[in-house]
C-alpha cells in the first residue's frame, strides 16, 4: 500500500530540522517501517524541492515541497493529479477543508481524512465555518462513504453528529516519535531550567504552551496560591507566549496575587532543550478548555511527569485518572492543589504514576504503536469501554472495507 500524506493548507514546515512534533513525518516513518511506502506533500512559497527523510526498514520518505494556488486557506497543488495517480491512499486532513472535500469526490476509493477539531466556545470562527460547510457540502461524505480517522473521541463524536455512519469514523489518536525524543542532543539548558535546578525545596509546577484564555493561566496562579498554603516554597514555571495585552494581564495578576518571587516565565525555548525542563518538574499542569489532542501531555508523560489536566482533547484516551495522571474539571483550584499535594506526599505512588505515564506513551501512543498494521485488536480506555483501531489497520479498512490492500489491486 503506497500512501501520500497531504497537508492541504499553506504552512511552512522544515523537516530537515529534525523536529519531533511534525505529525506527518512521525506517521510516515512508522508506516514505512511496516512496509508501506509513504511520502508527504507540503506547500511552499519558496523553491520547489524534494527532501528525503531517513526511515527505518524501508525506502526513504520523500517530502515534496510544491507551489500551488491558495483559495479559502486551501492549497491546490501544481500537477497534483499526476502525483496522486502514483498512490493507493491519499491521506488529507480536516473534514471542512475544501481540498479534502474535493479529494473525497474525485478519489473516493482512496481518500482518508485525518480529523482533529470539534465544537468549542473557544473555537467560534471554526464553529461558524463548520455550519456553513455542513449546510452545503458535508452530504458528499455521506454519499461517498468517505473514511475518517480522528485524533480523539471528541472529534469522532463531532463527526457522528453530522450523520456520518459509525463505520466511516475510526478514532486512532495521535503519536509521538519516541526515538527523536530520546535522542535530543545535549545543547545546554534554558534559563528556566537553570532556575528550576536552583530551587532546592518545594514543588516545581510546570506549564508549557501558549498563554491564552482557553489554557487559563490565571487558574494556574490560583492553583499555585493554594499549593503554597501547604508548601510555601512551591514555584510555577511557564514557557509560552501570547498576545501582548493578555500576556500583560497575566503579569499583572502575578504581582497582584503576591506571587512574583514564585512564578518564573520564559517566552520561548527550542524543543531540543525541553527534555531538561520536563525532567526538573514535579508536575505538569494543563488546565485547558479546548485541545485538538494535547501533544504536550504526551511529551510530559514520556519524560515521566505526573500530569494534571481536564477531560478535553486526547486526555480521555491517554489518562486513567489516579493511575497514570490526574483528570479534573477546571472548577476549583483548591481541588487541583489537593490532588497535587496528595500525590507529592506519597513518593511511591508518584513514582508508580510517573512510570505508568511513560509506559502509556511507549506502548500506546508512539507512531509505531498506532501504525502497527498487524494489531487489529481493540483497546479499552478510561471512563468507559471506548475502543479504537490501530492506524495501520484503520488505513486498510478506510481504503477497502477491511479487505487486504485493495487499493493496490
CA 245 to chain centre: 27
How confident is the model at residue 407, as a pLDDT?
40
Closest CA to 101 of 144, 59, 66, 164: 144
Q: Are residues 164 and 219 in the same domain?
A: no
Q: Are residues 43 and 171 in the same domain?
A: yes
Q: Are residues 209 and 339 in the same domain?
A: yes
Q: Are residues 300 and 164 in the same domain?
A: no
Q: Does the residue 375 lie in any domain?
A: no
Q: For the chain, what is the domain count?
A: 2
Asked if 101 and 89 count as a contact pair (C-beta separation under 8 A), the reply is no
Q: Are residues 155 and 301 in the same domain?
A: no
Grid cell locating 1 = 500500500
Q: Are residues 165 and 207 in the same domain?
A: no
Q: Does the residue 369 lie in any domain?
A: no
Residue 341, domain CATH: 3.40.50.2000
Q: Does the residue 373 lie in any domain?
A: no
Q: Which DSSP category does 95 fall into?
A: T
Q: Are residues 193 and 337 in the same domain?
A: yes
Q: Are residues 119 and 87 in the same domain?
A: yes
Q: Does the residue 285 lie in any domain?
A: yes
pLDDT tens-digit profile, the chain (409 residues): 899 999 988 887 888 775 667 889 989 988 888 888 999 999 998 899 999 998 887 689 999 999 999 888 889 998 999 999 999 999 999 999 999 999 999 999 999 999 998 888 888 888 888 998 999 999 999 999 999 999 999 999 999 999 999 999 988 889 988 877 776 665 678 889 999 999 999 999 999 999 999 999 999 999 999 999 999 999 999 999 999 999 999 999 999 999 999 999 999 888 778 888 999 999 999 999 999 899 999 999 999 999 999 999 889 889 999 999 999 999 899 999 999 999 999 999 999 999 999 999 999 999 888 886 323 322 222 223 233 445 555 555 555 544 333 343 3
Q: Are residues 10 and 129 in the same domain?
A: yes
Residue 63, domain CATH: 3.40.50
Q: Does the residue 372 lie in any domain?
A: no
| Domain containing residue 112 | 3-177+383-408
Grid cell locating 17 = 530540522
pTM of the model: 0.85
From CA 334, how far away is CA 332, in angstroms rounded? 5
How confident is the model at residue 19, as a pLDDT?
61
Angle of the 347-364 helix axis to the 333-344 helix axis, nearest 10: 100
From CA 150, how far away is CA 169, in angstroms rounded? 7
From CA 220, how far away is CA 333, in angstroms rounded? 8
Q: Does the residue 63 lie in any domain?
A: yes
Q: Are residues 43 and 164 in the same domain?
A: yes
Q: Does the residue 309 lie in any domain?
A: yes
CB neighbours of 38 closer than 8 A, spacing ≥ 6? 2, 3, 4, 5, 27, 28, 31, 32, 61
Q: Does the residue 378 lie in any domain?
A: no
Q: Are residues 204 and 267 in the same domain?
A: yes
Q: Are residues 276 and 229 in the same domain?
A: yes
Amino acid at each position: 500500500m503506497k500512501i501520500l500524506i497531504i497537508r492541504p493548507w499553506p504552512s511552512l514546515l522544515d523537516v530537515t530540522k529534525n523536529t519531533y512534533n511534525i505529525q506527518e513525518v512521525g506517521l510516515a516513518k512508522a508506516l514505512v517501517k511496516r512496509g508501506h511506502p509513504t511520502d508527504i506533500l507540503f506547500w511552499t512559497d519558496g523553491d520547489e524541492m524534494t527532501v528525503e527523510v531517513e526511515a527505518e526498514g524501508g525506502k526513504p520518505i520523500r517530502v515534496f515541497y510544491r507551489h500551488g494556488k491558495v483559495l479559502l486557506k486551501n492549497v491546490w497543488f501544481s500537477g497534483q493529479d499526476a502525483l496522486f495517480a502514483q498512490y493507493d491512499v491519499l491521506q488529507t486532513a480536516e473534514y471542512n477543508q475544501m481540498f479534502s472535500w474535493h479529494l473525497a469526490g474525485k478519489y473516493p476509493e482512496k481518500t482518508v481524512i485525518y480529523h482533529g477539531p470539534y465544537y468549542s466556545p473557544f473555537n467560534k470562527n471554526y464553529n461558524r465555518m463548520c455550519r456553513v460547510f455542513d449546510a452545503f457540502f458535508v452530504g458528499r461524505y455521506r454519499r461517498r462513504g468517505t473514511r475518517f480517522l480522528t485524533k480523539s473521541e471528541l472529534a469522532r463524536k463531532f463527526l457522528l453528529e453530522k450523520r456520518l455512519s459509525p463505520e466511516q469514523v475510526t478514532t486512532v489518536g495521535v503519536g509521538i516519535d519516541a526515538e527523536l525524543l530520546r535522542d535530543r542532543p545535549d545543547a545546554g539548558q534554558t534559563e528556566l531550567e537553570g532556575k528550576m535546578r536552583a530551587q532546592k525545596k518545594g514543588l516545581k509546577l510546570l506549564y508549557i504552551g501558549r498563554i491564552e484564555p482557553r489554557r487559563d493561566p490565571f487558574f494556574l496562579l490560583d492553583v499555585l496560591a493554594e499549593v503554597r498554603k501547604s508548601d510555601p516554597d512551591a514555584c510555577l514555571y511557564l514557557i509560552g507566549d501570547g498576545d501582548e495585552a493578555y500576556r500583560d494581564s497575566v503579569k499583572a495578576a502575578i504581582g497582584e496575587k503576591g506571587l512574583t518571587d514564585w512564578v518564573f516565565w520564559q517566552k520561548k525555548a527550542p524543543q531540543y532543550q525541553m527534555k531538561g525542563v520536563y525532567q526538573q518538574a514535579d508536575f505538569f499542569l494543563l488546565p485547558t478548555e479546548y485541545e485538538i489532542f494535547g501533544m504536550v501531555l504526551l511529551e510530559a508523560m514520556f519524560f515521566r511527569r505526573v500530569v494534571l489536566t481536564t477531560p478535553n482533547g486526547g486526555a480521555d484516551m491517554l489518562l486513567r485518572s489516579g493511575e497514570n495522571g490526574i483528570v479534573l474539571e477546571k472548577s476549583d483550584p483548591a481541588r487541583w492543589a489537593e490532588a497535587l499535594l496528595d500525590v507529592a506526599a506519597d513518593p511511591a505512588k508518584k513514582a508508580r504514576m510517573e512510570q505508568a505515564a511513560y509506559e502509556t506513551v511507549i506502548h500506546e501512543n508512539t507512531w509505531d504503536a498506532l501504525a502497527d498494521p498487524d494489531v487489529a485488536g481493540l483497546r479499552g480506555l478510561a471512563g468507559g469501554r471506548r475502543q479504537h483501531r490501530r492506524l495501520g489497520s484503520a488505513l486498510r479498512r478506510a481504503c477497502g472495507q477491511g479487505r487486504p490492500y485493495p487499493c493496490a489491486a
